[in-house]
Amino acid sequence: MKFLRSLYLTNRLFIAAGIGVLCFILSFSWPVLLPFSKLLLLVILVAVLADILMLYLPAKAFSAHRMLPEKFSNGDKNDVTIYTENNYRFNVSIKIIDEVPEQFQMRDFLLKESVQSNETRVITYQLKPLKRGEYKFGWLNIYVRGTIGLTERRYTFEQGKMVKVYPSFLQMRKYELMAIHHNLSDLGIKRILKIGHTMEFEQIKNYVQGDDYRTVNWPATARKGELMVNQFQDERSQHIYSIIDKGRLMKMPFEGLSLMDYAINASLVLSNIAIRKEDKAGLITFSDKMSTLLPPDKRAAQINHIMEALYHQKTLYLESNYELLYATIRSKINQRSLLILYTNFESLASMQRNLKYLRALSKNHVLVVVFFVNTELKALLERESRTLEDIYTRTVAEKFDYEKRQIVKELNRYNIYTILTPPSGLTVQVINKYLEIKARGII
């Protein structure tokens, strides 16, 4: 039975058998075809038996295993690697059907490759998860076709592998690497000059690309014969909190990823940048009740604590309680801090209901409110209006777009910093605002 479950007949066999049966049927009208049809059917039968023997006589002629990363990065393309080894004495064609996690809904997964005799072949494909959580892989099914190609043998490997999908650590590493090589501008991060030098002098060092020309130490340059600059000690250990609203307005999707997950990914990147600049990064999440309050820290282990906390975030997308958020921050956070609040306001009225709490927070802290451009409205505004219905739709879209801009003005009027951004540009905008506030000594 095991043999029959692993044996598959190919289309090539059905075509050959069909021709043989057709010739046999026609031989009743043309007897001259009878010997030919019998010979053809005999050849097909012998070929099938030979093909089966070639595929099944070697006990372990083909092997494979799936290599998964320790964890997947949410919203990014993650590599899945399959190692195949052909120990047959002939070249084979293979079809790979990997039982990927149900979250991907990939019903037509199929990879076709050819593997030479005694060759180890590495095959890589990519998966892009859009939700955090546990993803379970099923069987790795590989169908091997030999030289004759009339039958296939199915091999099964790797049952029940599981991988966790974490917030976008690949994005975090990308920004970290660019920061190390002073190439953040390639990602859209602005280079902001510091205003004044109220910082403590640290040392004189060789000039490197990106240093401020105003810090050149001319006497040291003359003595050493190469460009030297003064290095100042930035004000460090500031408290930077990422505050994530998990309410109903953060459920809105963009390219398959919810606004809340965009905020989670951006918070992870910003926290890593802040720790690299020796600030202390913390985390707060809330909806109708408080969920997480992770105290700020600048030790290397803090980014792992933040990642784990972000991974475990769950929500029912209920109405957000800003009064509770304000009360919690007032009682738990005593030091003046930079609060970056990721939320979403679709109307001026919805913002004004919570404005008093935002104003109260901004009195003791530096508050940056981050909310999102409705990209679907932008698409409607850019579309040409041809019918009366199009005009009505455009008018409504313009109203909501106007209210978004009014929200920015209203918040700025009370010295609350704002970022209005499409989800795709969130991380860059947040890092720019953080660097700007740091450079200007606002915190």
Instruction: Quickly list DSSP for 253-270.
Output: EETTEEHHHHHHHHHHHH
**Which segments within 110-195 are labelled E, that is strand?**
111-115, 120-127, 133-137, 140-145, 151-157, 161-166
**pLDDT tens digits, residue range 340-362?**
999 999 889 999 999 999 999 99
Q: Which of 320, 364, 340 is nearest to 418 (CA)?
A: 340
Question: Average pLDDT in the 120-139 region?
Answer: 96
Residue 160 half-sphere exposure toward CB, CA atoms < 13 A: 0
**What pLDDT is attached to residue 236?**
62
Question: Residues 126-163, buried b or exposed e (16+ Cβ, 10 A)?
Answer: ebebeebeebebbbbbbbbbbebebbbbebebbeebeb
- Helix intervals (H) in 218-301: 218-224, 259-276
**What pLDDT is attached to residue 196?**
47
**pLDDT band, very low/low/confident/very high, at 132 (cuts 50, 70, 90):** very high
Does 252 have pLDDT greater than 70?
yes
Q: Which of 185-189, 254-258, 267-271 has the highest mean pLDDT?
A: 267-271
Between CA 326 and CA 242 the distance in angstroms is 14
230 Cβ contact partners less than 8 Å away, ≥ 6 residues apart: 201, 203, 204, 215, 216, 217
Lowest-confidence pick of 50-64, 70-84, 422-436 = 50-64
**What pLDDT is attached to residue 302?**
97
**What pLDDT is attached to residue 4?**
57
This prediction's pTM: 0.83
**pLDDT tens digits, residue range 14-54?**
777 787 777 777 777 777 777 877 787 888 888 888 888 89
**pLDDT tens digits, residue range 182-194?**
555 655 666 655 5
Between CA 72 and CA 16 the distance in angstroms is 46
Question: Average pLDDT in the 259-281 region?
Answer: 95
**What pLDDT is attached to residue 179?**
65
Residue 135 half-sphere exposure toward CB, CA atoms < 13 A: 26
Q: Which of 4-8, 79-83, 232-236 has the highest mean pLDDT?
A: 79-83
313 Cβ contact partners less than 8 Å away, ≥ 6 residues apart: 132, 244, 246, 260, 264, 285, 291, 292
Does 374 have pLDDT greater than 90?
no
Percent of the chain whose predicted confidence (pLDDT) is above 90 = 57
User: Which carries the bigger pLDDT value, residue 166 or residue 159?
Assistant: 166
**What pLDDT is attached to residue 199?**
52
